[in-house]
Amino acid sequence: MKITYHGHSCVQLTEGENSIIIDPFLTGNSAAVTKPDDVKVQYVLLTHAHSDHIADAEAIARSNDATIIATFELATYYSWKGLKTVGMNLGGSLDLDFAKIKMVQAFHSSGMIVEEGKILYMGMPGGFVINWNGTTILHAGDTALFGDMKMIGKQHSIDLAFIPIGDLFTMGPSDALIAAEWLQAKAVVPIHYNTFPPIKQDAGKFAKDLEKLGIEGLDLEPGESFEIGD
């Protein structure tokens, strides 16, 4: 399986003709090297409704005739735009034929600013556990550290976890190290950092700190890819 990090929290998983993108934020992200028109996928997974996670969801879904998968409220919003959607919620699972996904909890918020003075509530935030040909990947979404990460780690043998480290809006590096241990992840890619000045972090140091814990740390640049699994 090919894993591509597009910057911020945007990740793409591809194997053969099948591909999933999570939290597409390319337009407006000065660090991104990929354009929405370059993305070819069947599914767009959204962890929550903040603009730095859904900026290109509609464009990518429309150009690919792809299905958006998100919490019920957010999926319903996109269905009103004439897009294919599947609404789900925390604890629920969905079979995509080539992969199975489960939405797990995240401690954050989820709302969409539609105009000045008007914010639409868009359901609970979440993360996704993706099992694809025996490889298990967690995208934690935007989240604080919380105790039930231990439960997620016990329920799923996580080969690779995408964990936010930016601080201010999510957990910072020190809490993310604890999260990686609690999740029992074999490898971790830090996300949600350096896109804006308030969330600037040293991902290289974080990766080295992970190695001290016996966890592989992958400090990726936007557009960088690697292979995982058989």
Assign 229 a pLDDT band (cuts: 50, 70, 90).
confident
- Strand residues in the chain grouped as ranges (E): 2-7, 10-15, 18-22, 43-45, 67-71, 84-88, 93-95, 100-105, 111-115, 118-121, 126-132, 135-139, 160-164, 187-191, 216-217, 224-227
**pLDDT digits over 139-187, tens only?**
999 999 999 999 999 999 999 999 999 999 999 999 999 999 999 999 9
Can you give the residue ranges of every domain in the chain? 2-216
pLDDT (tens digit, 9 = 90+) per residue, 100-150? 999 999 999 999 998 899 999 999 999 999 999 999 999 999 999 999 999
Read off the pTM. Answer: 0.97
- Residue 75 in contact with residue 69, Cβ under 8 Å? yes
CATH of 2-216 among 3.30.200.20, 3.30.360.10, 3.60.15.10, 3.40.50.10800: 3.60.15.10
pLDDT digits (tens, 9 = 90+) for 57-114: 999 999 999 999 999 999 999 999 999 999 999 999 999 999 999 999 999 999 999 8
Q: Distance (Å, rounded) from C-alpha 107 to C-alpha 124?
A: 9
pLDDT digits (tens, 9 = 90+) for 201-228: 999 999 999 999 999 999 999 999 999 9
Q: What's the token pair of residue 22?
A: 């999570």
Largest CA distance in the chain: 50
